[in-house]
Structure formats: C-alpha cells, structure tokens
Homo-oligomer: A and B are copies of this chain.
Amino acid sequence: MDIEQHKIPQATAKRLPLYYRFINNLHSQGKQRVSSKELSEAVKVDSATIRRDFSYFGALGKKGYGYNVEYLLSFFRKTLDQDEITKVALIGVGNLGTAFLHYNFMKNNNTKIEYAFDTNAEKIGTEIGGVPVKHIDDLEDIVKGDITAAILTVPSSAAQGITDRLVKSGVSGILNFTPARITVPDHIRVHHIDLSIELQALVYFLKHYPLEENTEQEE
C-alpha cells in the first residue's frame, strides 16, 4: 500500500510499541486526551522526541490541545499492524523458552507463538501455555510459509544450524536469545537479546559512569 514509509528512523520505530502500550493504558483508563509532556513522564522519553516521532506520521495532534487518545490508539493500531495476528515459532523449550511459552504476548501485542520445537522426547506432543511442542525434525514442514518470525532459545551450539533451517523454511525475522552471533542472508532480520551482556553492561556503567547525586528535589 504505502511504499514510501521508509522515512521513519529506526530509533523512532523501536519506540512505537512502547507508545502503543501506554496509549492503550490511557484508553483503558478512559482518558480522552494526552499531551506529549504527560506521555513523556510515563514512558521516560523526552517530550520533544515524542513530538518528533509522532510527526513522522503527519500531524497527529492539535496545537494547544494535545493528542486525542482514541485517534492515537487507532492510528497506532493500524501502523503497528495490530489488526492481523503475526505468527511466530519458538525453538528450544528449555528454561527461557518455557518462560516465554507461559507468557501471553497477545495481551498488548498481536503476536502469537503458534508452535514450539525441541529435541527432547519428553516435551514433544505436550502443550505448554497452550502452545503445542513439536519435534525439531518437523520444523520445515510446519513452518513453511506460515510463520513470520522465530524466537531462538536453544543452546548456542545449535543456534547456527537451526538458523539455517529457519531461513530455508521462509522465516523472515529471528529474535535470538543465544549468545551466538548468527549469520543469515541479507534479507533476513535478526535482533539479538543477549541477557549476559545486558547484565554485564549494566555493571560496567555502574562502576564507570557514576551518576550525579541529585541535590535538587525530584518532581
């Protein structure tokens, strides 16, 4: 439909789901209007950044008024494709994978884990959090064409092998929780979430970037 939606900066795109969630919250609370300043305090993003982000989509608000919550919500729902369900597969039903299966991503996010895959015979055939666990041998047959993205929670030694199979099966995005930096063709998108690194980075910041003790009162 709209081919040239390409002008939205990546940094903005990453914040859209966050905005969407809070607009949803406001709507549930029956709020009619909201200002960038209010939103800013809730999501901890500078209000100028929020206005700038919104402005990439045109004039969503009214000067002197703010944004209409109802309108904003329906706009973001459309923009984030929340009217159609995105089907996802999860590979590796271990500690982390099981936790994700128990979580309902549909709550505020029209994404559904349709199938899980593992090698462990004890798990195959069961349902966890309503998601059927299949044998990894059936990956290609089940995924083929039907599944948009995959969540990867296998041991890192298996990561590249499974990735290659996912790519062959037509998945176009992978959310990789393993420490392995996987290699994919150019047309496949991979987001890495590396929990060890996140923890280590936090610790590094604590030791090397001491924050100012605030003498003023925080509002």
What residues of chain A have their CB less than 8 Å away from a CB belonging to chain B? 5-6, 8, 10, 13-14, 16-18, 20-21, 42-44, 80-81, 86, 88, 95-96, 98-100, 102-103, 105, 107-109, 111, 148-149, 151, 172-173, 175, 179, 181, 185-189, 191, 193-214, 218
Residues of chain B lying within 8 A (CB to CB) of residue A185: 214, 218
Copies of this chain per assembly:
2
Of the candidates B44, B81, B181, B204, the one whose C-beta lies within 8 Å of that of A16 is B204
Q: A21-B196, A187-B213, A188-B211 are in contact. List 7 more A-B contacts (CB 8 A).
A: A5-B208, A6-B209, A13-B208, A13-B209, A81-B207, A111-B200, A148-B206
Of the candidates B111, B203, B206, the one whose C-beta lies within 8 Å of that of A199 is B111
Of the candidates B17, B172, B179, B196, the one whose C-beta lies within 8 Å of that of A204 is B17
Of the candidates B105, B195, B210, the one whose C-beta lies within 8 Å of that of A196 is B105
B214, A202: Cβ atoms under 8 Å?
no
B202, A189: Cβ atoms under 8 Å?
yes
Minimum CB–CB distance for A43 against chain B, Å: 6
In the complex, the chain B residue whose C-beta lies closest to that of A103 is: B95
Minimum CB–CB distance for A181 against chain B, Å: 5
Distance between Cα atoms of A201 and B218 in the complex (Å): 32
Distance between Cα atoms of A200 and B207 in the complex (Å): 32
B211, A149: Cβ atoms under 8 Å?
no
B199, A88: Cβ atoms under 8 Å?
yes
Residues of chain B lying within 8 A (CB to CB) of residue A209: 6, 10, 13, 189
Residues of chain B lying within 8 A (CB to CB) of residue A218: 185-186
A175, B198: Cβ atoms under 8 Å?
yes
Enumerate 9 A-B pairs (CB-CB under 8 Å) in ascending A order: A8-B208, A95-B98, A96-B99, A96-B103, A108-B179, A109-B199, A186-B213, A189-B202, A191-B198
